[in-house]
A and B are shown apart, each in its own frame.
Chain A
Amino acid sequence: EPEVTQTPSHQVTQMGQEVILRCVPISNHLYFYWYRQILGQKVEFLVSFYNNEISEKSEIFDDQFSVERPDGSNFTLKIRSTKLEDSAMYFCASIWSGKTQYFGPGTRLLVL
């Protein structure tokens, strides 16, 4: 069964460093999402992406964040200058049609 994959599974970085989280959505899916889950808290929407552009973003998704689909298969989330409060689990999701989003296993980001 096709699935969404994410790399790396864990990332540790120093405050102020740039990180890139990678996702490979299910191959025929057209809509892509990033969510994050700070430890012990609810899952929060960050951004949605369709037709090579952002379709919606939350107030969390400020200028430090960017997304890209560089090669038609990968979907990346970049955090330009990480802060301690960016420590969280980041989930990628994708959808083809209908209303069910399929989630990847997540990347746990720890900012020191």
Chain B
Amino acid sequence: GNSVTQMEGPVTLSEEAFLTINCTYTATGYPSLFWYVQYPGEGLQLLLKATKADDKGSNKGFEATYRKETTSFHLEKGSVQVSDSAVYFCALSDVGNGGTSYGKLTFGQGTILTVHP
């Protein structure tokens, strides 16, 4: 079945540091890949996505590139802020069953990011 593996956390950085959160996946076919963010006490928000190989998703200074050859979708940001402190989830979506479902999301375990001033 499908699976997503994220780097172990938590990750603690100083403001303006470079961030990388690793994500690798196992899936049949050509899944779409996502990063969701969960701020304290809130629900899941889509951060960025990529739907095919070599696509780069980007939003709010975060980027991730869909690498089919390494089955990876690592999240990067050049200069983190205190406000980026949150839990980050990598996820994939498959086509689902007979085309009538747009497919469940399979999530990684989440990485807690804490950014200190």
Contacts and interface: CB of A to CB of B under 8 A. Distances in A.
B68 interface: no
A29 B52 CA distance: 23
Contact of B102 (A41, A91, A95): A95
Given A31-B101, A102-B46, A103-B43, A56 B96 contact: yes
Contacts, number: 65
Interface string B33-77: 010100000111110010100000000000000000000000000
For chain A, the bracket of interface size reads 20 to 34
A48 B104 contact: yes
Interface residues of B, number: 26
A105 B42 contact: yes
Given A41-B109, A44-B107, A45-B105, A51 B100 contact: yes
A55 B109 contact: no
* Secondary structure class of chain A's binding surface, majority of residues: strand
B24 interface: no
A99 to B, nearest CB: 4
A58 to B, nearest CB: 8
Interface of A: 31, 33, 35, 41-45, 48, 50-51, 55-56, 58, 91, 93, 95, 97-106
